[in-house]
């Protein structure tokens, strides 16, 4: 393993706790200060049902405002949902994770992508670390 690989691994191990900490309700992110609900009445019925599941499961560990007011690309949402599924006591099954992911992608595409300046981008690991040390 090269020096750079070791350095990257060490950086990841140091920053990982900050990312996990920010997923709890103990830290308030800028996204948390936005609306906690959205009107999904114009969304297709399966997406409306997925919103209900999303609301129930994703409010266990953090505010719903956090994902509602965050923009991410498809791959980032996929990683985020998988990470949340692996959280202790998340209670999110594979099928439920897929449904939550599909809601997040539909919402990203049909609401957030049309007004990107109205939402916050995902915070970097460095930004999360700075918030932890405040």
For residue 106, what are its two tokens? 């539909």
Task: Specify burial of residue 66 (Cβ count, 10 A radius: 0-12, 13-18, 19+).
Answer: buried
What is the topology classification, in CATH, of domain 31-124?
Cytochrome Bc1 Complex; Chain D, domain 2 (1.10.760)
Residue 48 C-alpha from the chain's centroid = 19
- Residue numbers in the chain where pLDDT is lower than 50: 8-24
CA atoms of 5 and 2, how far apart (whole Å): 5
Task: Give the pLDDT of residue 1.
Answer: 60
Domain ranges in the chain are: 31-124
- Residue 3 confidence (pLDDT): 53
The dihedrals phi and psi of 85, each to the nearest 5 degrees, come to -60, -30
Q: What are the beta bridge partners of residue 70?
A: 120
């Amino acid at each position: 393993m090269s020096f750079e690989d070791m350095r990257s691994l060490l950086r990841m191990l140091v920053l990982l706790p900050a990312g996990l900490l920010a997923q709890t309700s103990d830290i308030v992110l800028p996204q948390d200060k936005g609306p906690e609900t959205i009107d999904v009445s114009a969304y297709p019925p399966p997406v409306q049902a997925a919103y209900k599941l999303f609301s129930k499961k994703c409010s266990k560990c953090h505010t719903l405002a956090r994902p509602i007011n965050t923009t991410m690309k498809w791959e980032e949402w996929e990683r985020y949902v998988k990470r949340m599924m692996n959280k202790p006591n998340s209670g999110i099954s594979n099928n439920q994770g897929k449904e939550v992911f599909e809601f997040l992608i539909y919402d990203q595409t049909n609401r957030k992508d049309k007004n990107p300046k109205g939402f916050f981008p995902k915070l970097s690991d460095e930004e999360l670390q700075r918030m932890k040390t405040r």
